[in-house]
Amino acid sequence: MTHAMRPIHPQAVPDDPLAVRWVVHTGTQGVVGEVVAAPDPFGALMRDRVISLALLETEGIWVWLAPGNTWADCGHKVREAILESLDLDGWRINGDSADLLRLVANDVLLGDLADEIHAADTTVEVVENDARWLLLDLGQLDSRDPAASTELQQRIETAIRARCPSLRETSRLGGPQSSHFTLSNTPRRALWTDE
């Protein structure tokens, strides 16, 4: 697929004006995670500190601009760089990204499956995660209807795994394999730093 034919559009990242998720089929199959290096022109934007962090999933690339840059000034340049670079060799990806899994999970919960979660008259949130595992809180659904809770958990897992194949397991509070201790929700690493 040539880049001229590949659909792409920006999606704002809530509460983070330096971040945009570029919704585009990346063709990466099972390779997802933090972009360590990329072919030019995308790689040049990383080296020139226009882009401070990029996380690759199967249906998008999450991009953070370095401080001092704006999407109004750099958005078109980043968009074109993504389209021109995606099919080229030279991508190096660190596949263990708890940050990416959490971002994709929250995007699925607040976007793709939001109507279904609302119809189930519950709330769902990510309580804890690492790069391959999620702990979900499905609100009161477990106590009301354990079978519906199991089905919703499976739908959530399937939707997340389609975009982030590194997901190996989901657990839920109050459900099978649940734990009864308090978990830390402290981020494991900053999404971007000004090094």
Which whole-number Å values give the CA distances from 187 to 8, 81, 89, 122, in the listed order?
29, 29, 31, 25
Q: Each residue of 36-57: pLDDT tens digit?
A: 999 999 999 999 999 999 999 9
DSSP 190: -
| Predicted local confidence at residue 4, as pLDDT | 55
Residue in 112, 92, 96 with CA at minimum distance from that of residue 104: 112
Q: What is the pLDDT of residues 118-145, one digit of tens each?
A: 999 999 999 999 999 999 999 888 788 8
Residue closest to 166 by CA, chosen among 93, 101, 108, 91: 101
pLDDT tens digits, one per residue of 96-125: 899 999 999 999 999 999 999 999 999 999
Angle at 136 between CA 191 and CA 167, to 5 degrees: 60
| Cα distance between residue 13 and residue 103, in whole Å | 9
- Sorted by sequence, the CB contacts under 8 Å of residue 164 that are 6+ apart come out as 32, 57, 58, 100, 101, 104, 105
- Confidence at residue 29, expressed as pLDDT on a 0 to 100 scale: 74
Mind listing the domains of the chain with CATH numbers? 9-94 (3.30.1370), 98-172 (3.30.300.130)
pTM of the model: 0.85
- φ, ψ dihedrals at 162, nearest 5°: -60, -30
